[in-house]
Structure 1
Amino acid sequence: MNHTNGILLESGTNELEIVEFEVQHNKFGINVIKVKEIIQPKTVIPVPHSHPYVKGLIQLRGEVLPVVDMARVLGVKEEETATSKYIVSEFNQQKVIFHVHNVTQIHRISWDQIDKPSEVYTGVHSGIIGVIKQQESMILLLDFESIMLEINPETGIRVEQVKKLGPRERSNKKIVAAEDSPLLRKLLNDTLKEAGYEDVEFFENGADAFRYLESVAEESGDIKDSVQLVLTDIEMPQMDGHHLTKRIKSHPKLQALPVIIFSSLITNDLKHKGEMVGAEDQISKPEIAELILKIDQHIL
């Protein structure tokens, strides 16, 4: 199966396409937007003292890319099968290859068909962000950003970038933030506090965030008296960030709220999706200092 980012989904429909793959006959999924192509395995050059998840490096069309073995990530037996594939991915401004045991098909589904993982699988270090139930099985959506953060912490949100902005007072400003990853919610919370934004209401999906905003709007004459800005990820169960933004911008009492999309999926090729739904700004993770400056700009 070969695939490139020719995704045709209209922005804001709350739909996504996922590539289903297998590791030890268990089913997992990755957002098509993250997938550049799917190739046959190539010879890997081991790298001394690399992270345990990393098999080594390969050269692909002039680029040297790391290969992450998903069997190692998931703690199951490594194997090279006749159906093994390399998923070439790009997100968080980095390219990486994931070695999986098989790639089976592409599904087009709605985010509201994706359930939150049970409490057993949630927590700051959970590797699962959603569950797609099928008749006799289920597909687990993995948190690839957290996997890469564990391999290379330098690719994550770093509070020290914000400290360079100097002392700030923003405690009278209220932000509503939608982010499904517990790890990133904690990092964002710590970083926003460092930047002076102490009043941040976090939600783990766009649906919960929108319900909260609607309730606040009903109670207040002007929503901006209660909330000054919305910050949202894109990939979230129940309601994604593009659909959340579209709902806000089409709501008579909420449309004045500035919305900033903060996601690993912000690229030059995909920025038009956020523009189509009316987002004021779009910042790629992990550019936290740039995010803070944009919040400052829109929250006045």
Structure 2
Amino acid sequence: MAGILDTVDQRTQLVGENRLELLMFKMQTRQLFALNVFKVQEVMQLPRLTKMPQSHPVVCGVASLRGQAVTVIDLSAAIGLRPIDTTKPCNLIVTEYNRTVQGFLVGSVDRIINLSWNLIMPPPATAGRGHYLTAVTRLEDNQLVEIIDVEKVLAEIVSYSSEISAEVLDVEVVKMARGMKVLVVDDSSTARAQTEGILTSLGIEVIEATDGARAIQMLKKWADDGHHVPDELLMIITDAEMPEMDGYRLTREIREDPRLRDLYIVLNTSLSGSFNKSMVQKVGCDEFISKFQPDLMASIVQERIRTLMNNS
């Protein structure tokens, strides 16, 4: 795997073009799994681990990586499969999600593939509500690749709160928010639930879409039916990476439609902040929030309401 992540700068050019790259791996079984390369910092053989007493059952221990203590999670056990046998060859995928670094213990690492988001499909309905997949795709040889919902995995290990701090909550703004609507676009049920919890605490009605393609279809239909959509939605809060159409392409599609272009768009993603701030400017989002920050999201929503009220 040496050098597999050496061209990350080149990969940033994929974003905004509705493309992504997936790092594929196995869990000591034949099934292929994948993570978005943008969330991967490095791949290595499993280093020595320090066991942590009273840790979560799927936490293997802590690895010291260049002076940083990184929690190591058995990804196979975390999604309900057999734990990884560390007496056999295995690897550590070091990732950054939601401003934190963690390592995922897997079996063998396969390769990186470059795909269009329209080849990434939502999990089949037969997978049920308890699955740990955010999407699936098929290779040219028809082999299925399962893309893991890491946000759900992490939420089961370290719970995320949707509670807004009392000092952030503006009671007068909340009164004005009653009846306002926000479209939340995210393929992760965990992320949608957390965002909905924040917005409903503000008295806002939440409309959901599970990917950008569904969202743009919904918006265009409302416009076709004669609705002035920018007046009816307070904002759109969208994830970046989603099946079929990512949040960057969704934003571009909205900005290119005269009926929709004035919509206020907030990018809400677990990808790294510095990277996304530049992408916000490139594709035309209004704000960027790293996921699972209820106070920050509430502040941005409340400020948007204040601005609208002041301009009315």
TM range (shorter): over 0.9
- Return the offset for 1:215: 1.2
Q: Are the structure 2 counterparts of residues 90 and 171 from structure 1 closer, same or farther at C-alpha, using a change threshold of 3 Å?
A: same
Q: Pick from 196, 205, 209 the counterpart of residue 189 of structure 1.
A: 196
Instruction: Verify the 8 A CA contact 2:74 2:105 in the aligned structure 1.
Output: yes
Q: Pick from 225, 239, 242 the counterpart of residue 245 of structure 2.
A: 239
Residue of structure 2 equivalent to 1:174: 181
Of 1-10 and 140-149, more deviation after overlay is shown by 1-10
- Return the offset for 1:70: 1.7
2:92 is the counterpart of 1:86? yes
Structure 2 CA distance for aligned equivalents of residues 166 and 126 of structure 1: 37
- Return the offset for 1:172: 2.9
Runs of 4+ in 1 over 3 A off after TM superposition: 160-164
**What's the TM-score once normalised by structure 1's chain length?**
0.92
Residue of structure 2 equivalent to 1:69: 74
Structure 2 CA distance for aligned equivalents of residues 208 and 270 of structure 1: 23
Residue of structure 1 equivalent to 2:282: 276
2:23 is the counterpart of 1:16? no
Residue of structure 2 equivalent to 1:212: 218
Instruction: Verify the 8 A CA contact 1:129 1:143 in the aligned structure 2.
Output: yes
Residue of structure 1 equivalent to 2:35: 30
- Return the offset for 1:184: 2.3
CA offsets per residue over residues 168-213 of structure 1, 9 Å max, x none? 121232211101112222222222111121x221111111111111
Query: Partner amino acid for 1:282?
Result: F
Query: Partner amino acid for 1:52?
Result: P
Q: Are the structure 2 counterparts of residues 109 and 58 from structure 1 closer, same or farther at C-alpha, using a change threshold of 3 Å?
A: same
Query: Secondary structure of the equivalent of 1:64?
Result: strand
- Return the offset for 1:36: 0.4
Query: Partner amino acid for 2:38?
Result: I
- Return the offset for 1:145: 1.2
Q: Pick from 225, 233, 247 the counterpart of residue 231 of structure 2.
A: 225
**What's the TM-score once normalised by structure 2's chain length?**
0.89
- Alignment map for 1:78-157 (pairs within 5 Å): 78-80=84-86, 83-123=89-129, 125-134=130-139, 135-153=141-159, 156-157=160-161
Unmatched segments (≥5 aa) in structure 1 = none
Unmatched segments (≥5 aa) in structure 2 = none
Q: Matched residue pairs, number?
A: 296
Q: Are the structure 2 counterparts of residues 297 and 164 from structure 1 closer, same or farther at C-alpha, using a change threshold of 3 Å?
A: closer
Structure 2 CA distance for aligned equivalents of residues 202 and 157 of structure 1: 20
Structure 2 CA distance for aligned equivalents of residues 81 and 21 of structure 1: 18
Of 23-32 and 128-137, more deviation after overlay is shown by 128-137
